[in-house]
Amino acid sequence: MQLHLPASLDPRQLLRPRRRGIASVNAEVRDGIVPAGSDIAQTQDNDGGEQPTRNYRTVALIIATAMFMENLDATVLATALPTMARDFGVRAPEMSIALTSYLLALAVFIPASGTMADRFGARAVFRAAIGLFVAGSLACGLAPTLPLMALARFAQGVGGAMMMPVGRLVLLKSVAKRDMVSAMSWLIMPALIGPIVGPPLGGFIVTYLDWRWIFWLNLPIGVVGIWLVGRFIADIREEAPHPFDPAGFLLSGIALGCLLMGFEMASRSGEGRLAAILVAVGAAFGALYLRHAKHIAHPILDVSLMRVPTFRLSVIGGSLTRITQGAQPFLLPLMMQLAFGLSAAQSGAMTVAGAIGSFGMKGVARRILRRFGFRASLVVMGLLGTGAYATCGLFRADWPLTAVFAVLVVSGFLMSFQFTAYNTIAYDEIDKTRMSAATSFYSTFQQLMLSLGICAGATALHASMLWSDRSRPGFADFSAAFWTVTAISLCAVFVNLRFDREAGAELTGRSRPRT
């Protein structure tokens, strides 16, 4: 068998060390992992260059739709809790178990998602995750009591825990590097739009329909999603998957479950002591997990990934920025209704502005990153994005609602751009054999920091109210909350400055300087 090299390739280049990055599907076809001729297989031009994946937008949209279903469901439910409590014959605070049971499932099963995808195939696991989420949705809609609702929500959470990281893994292994920025701009939209569209949709359903439609709406979406996954997504899997880490699964599950529930409870009045206990227990088990991870070859959460520069910086910078993203869906509706005096429907219409900004970003992210690079773009957009959300702290009753809407559109655009960049650059230097571990690790921190953002926003709001001796939050209290979370996110700018100037050049098609 002879090896034919393109004429433009210098044979000496084969002897030079090469930075590892996101593997193309060509390599997987060669290794027998993805069938040749599959819908997502890439081709090469005569010079050996990578051509755009023909259906990467289709793959991204299928995955994004599943994630949108998950994100929308979580935010719509919060609006319906009082009505659900009345039907179940319980006090409204008792409905919190419907939220915490879902968070608990996420915390326990997100770390296991990468191992599951490697062992059983990403397509099979992703399709099963959608099926489990839909089955849990059906059970939620039929639940006659609160305990059964909590069990159904846990099942939903298991499906949701697999959908998020496995969906990202499918995209990373299905899309050429040059198309990754565009694909990621589609993928991150559910996380930004779901929490914005959720409250007004929830208010509509509760007002004009039965709250159970919140869950039943997932059924047709999920069924179509399962069919589309089987039609358009290739069966990507590792030929020699790593063994499962049961001790790490237990330790990480307890640690992350306690941390997520502690952060979530810290946003409620009267739950401070229990929240502190849960956070302390979570931190203790987290320390035990780190000790365990040092003595095992393939831990369920691979902390050694933080040695990869672009991955480490994306995790840290993205985590700091997600503090604002987590707090925003909590603070904005409260400000609109309690400070501006808008109705729930009017408040929902205002918060849709962020979704409009997110859509506007989709078409320009790649061009900006190609022109200026990841480092410069993240620094500048980070400063502008922080400033835009800090401007929300200046809102007062005499502001025209059109001006408020415009600020929220700009904020949504800038925030969406940052997460497109973070979610793309994170995997630039990750070897394909570690991609499953990387998606599990990244998704775990993403969920943790979103919950911490709610906690930070709620804590700052309550602290300002106590300082001013007010029982109802006013504009000054919301200002304190917005400026607290944006001050935390501003620290991400200093992290972004540590990226290499040419980091991610292959992802955007920028040429590296000759040496």
What pLDDT digit, counting tens, does each position of 39-85 carry? Answer: 333 333 333 334 444 466 778 778 877 877 877 776 677 667 777 88
Token pair of 95 as six digits: 């409905």
Give the separation between CA 39 and CA 446, rounded to whole angstroms: 30
CA dist 316 and 307 (Å) reads 12
Residue-level pLDDT at 487: 95
Distances, alpha carbon 157 to alpha carbons 118, 273, 310, in Å:
21, 26, 30
- Of the two residues 233 and 406, the one the predictor is more confident about is 406
Q: Residues 244-273: what's their mean pLDDT?
A: 82
SS3 48: coil
DSSP 8-state code for residue 428: T
Cα(477)–Cα(465) distance, rounded to whole angstroms? 6
Is the pLDDT at 4 greater than 50? The verdict is no
Name, in order, each residue with C-beta under 8 angstroms of 375's C-beta and a sequence gap of 6 or more. 496, 497, 499, 500, 501, 503
Show me where the domains of the chain are located. Answer: 25-41+50-244, 246-299, 305-515
Residue 513 confidence class, pLDDT cut points 50, 70, 90: very low
pLDDT: is 202 or 366 the higher one? 366
pLDDT band at 483 (very low <50, low <70, confident <90, very high): very high
Continuous H helices in 43-188: 56-88, 96-109, 113-120, 122-142, 146-174, 180-187
* 83 neighbors 255 (Cβ within 8 angstroms): no
- Check for a shared fold between 25-41+50-244 and 305-515: yes
Would you say residue 152 has pLDDT above 70? yes
Say which residues have a Cβ less than 8 Å from residue 415's Cβ, sequence separation at least 6. 192, 321, 324, 325, 328, 354, 357, 358, 385, 389
Residues 248 and 447: their CA atoms lie apart, in Å, by 19
- CATH superfamily, with its number, for domain 25-41+50-244: MFS general substrate transporter like domains (1.20.1250.20)
In angstroms, the CA 104 to CA 140 distance is 16
Q: Are 152 and 483 in contact (CB under 8 A)?
A: no
Which CATH number does the domain 305-515 belong to among 3.30.390.30, 1.20.1250.20, 1.10.30.50, 3.90.580.10?
Answer: 1.20.1250.20
Highest mean pLDDT among 80-94, 146-160, 359-373: 146-160
Rounded distance, CA 182 to CA 507, Å? 10
**pLDDT category of residue 286 using cuts at 50, 70 and 90:** very high
How far is residue 73's CA from residue 79's CA, in Å, rounded to a whole number? 10
Which pLDDT value is given to residue 161?
A: 86
Q: Mean pLDDT in the chain?
A: 79
Helix, strand or coil, per DSSP, at residue 45? coil
pLDDT at 19: 40
Q: What are phi and psi of 299, to 5 degrees?
A: -70, 160
Q: Supply the pLDDT for residue 240.
A: 67
User: CB count, 10 Å around CB of 304?
Assistant: 12
Lowest mean pLDDT among 17-31, 148-162, 221-235, 421-435: 17-31
Q: Which two tokens stand for residue 496?
A: 């972004």
Looking at residue 511, its pLDDT comes to 56
Q: What is the pLDDT of residues 165-190, one digit of tens each?
A: 888 888 777 777 777 777 777 776 66
Residue ranges of the alpha helices (H) in 335-352?
344-351
